[in-house]
Amino acid sequence: MLRQLPAETAHRATLTLARLAAPLLPAPAPDDPRLAMRAFGLDFPNPVGLAAGFDKNAEVPDAMAKFGFGFVECGTVTPRSQAGNPRPRLFRLSEDGAVINRMGFNNAGSAMAAHNLRARRGNGIVGINIGANKDSADRIGDYVRCFFELAALADYVTVNVSSPNTPGLRGLQNRDELTRLLGAVTDARAAAGTSSSEMAHKPILLKIAPDLDLHALDEIADVVRASHIEGLIVSNTTIARPPLKSRHAGEAGGLSGKPLLEPSTRVLGEMHRRLGGAVSLVGVGGIASGADAYAKIRAGASLVQLYTALAYRGPGLVARIKRDLLACLARDGFAKLGDAVGKT
């Protein structure tokens, strides 16, 4: 029924249903201990996470955790609320198992996200993804403000510099700007840590684009090492357009889903080779099966995230991926999932 609605209307309806159903949903069954992962100082019951973009305002992280996710990432959140880009801005490419979005960081702002995170009743791992307002005169200052307002309410913080839908944002991935940005955010963590030992060790992750050349990956790896952040998410949506069948193929925005699996996994492998375990990697892009998730793990990811495939396959996909991962481990002779990370 939801798929008969326009894409953004269906998304809003899904959030409403999840919020209403949350008190009625049972807790998920315990995960097989072979799926447990430790990354950036946190213990995850399983490696399958919900990517940012689904729950921008942190309205339903506890409800989504009940579908079996090992962790949920909310956002992207900006300091001030913003409407995002004009509609329509979300397009299903059903023939391609893909979505194009040009949402533009539509969200209710950091104060609302903080309110919702404080109201949580669950205890699953929740991350917060932060960004800058489109019209900001000080984008780095926006990230710092969001960090101070939200970091204490989440288990980790993701610095998103890779959305293609905020003009100029991806420029923060160049060496000098990224050095300044991560320096400012880690300084904010150090300042917060003077009064809270928990804040002093709050994991910081960086989310990058898949549309980067090898030189850019070299530079990002150097900055990540020097910054002493804990994790890297590879990757955001792509502005590339491989051959697509849908009539929406020409829409502007970021492409996600099946066409992103191969290029995002390739960039993930490149970053694994450059970083060599210096930080934990999270693999995102095109995951629609346990085999897809396993490919990310073999390429170097300790954790994975998905979103687009849920629109086509429903929340039962999470349990299927976990069952498939266990079958992959048995087939390849690994005692636990951590043993398969980076084993290409």
Cα 212 to Cα 224: distance, rounded to the nearest angstrom: 15
Mark whether 289 is an active-site residue.
no
The dihedral of CA 220, 301, 199, 157: what is its sign?
positive
Which residue type does 96 have?
Answer: D
Asked if residues 249 and 241 have their Cβ atoms less than 8 Å apart, the reply is yes
Cα 177 to Cα 138: distance, rounded to the nearest angstrom: 12
Asked if residues 1 and 295 have their Cβ atoms less than 8 Å apart, the reply is no
Calculate helix-pair angle for 175-193, 139-150, nearest 10 degrees: 30
Within 8 A by CB and 6+ apart from 91, the residues are 7, 99, 100, 101, 246, 248, 251, 253
Q: Which of 110, 136, 162, 163 is catalytic?
A: 163
* Catalytic center residues: 163
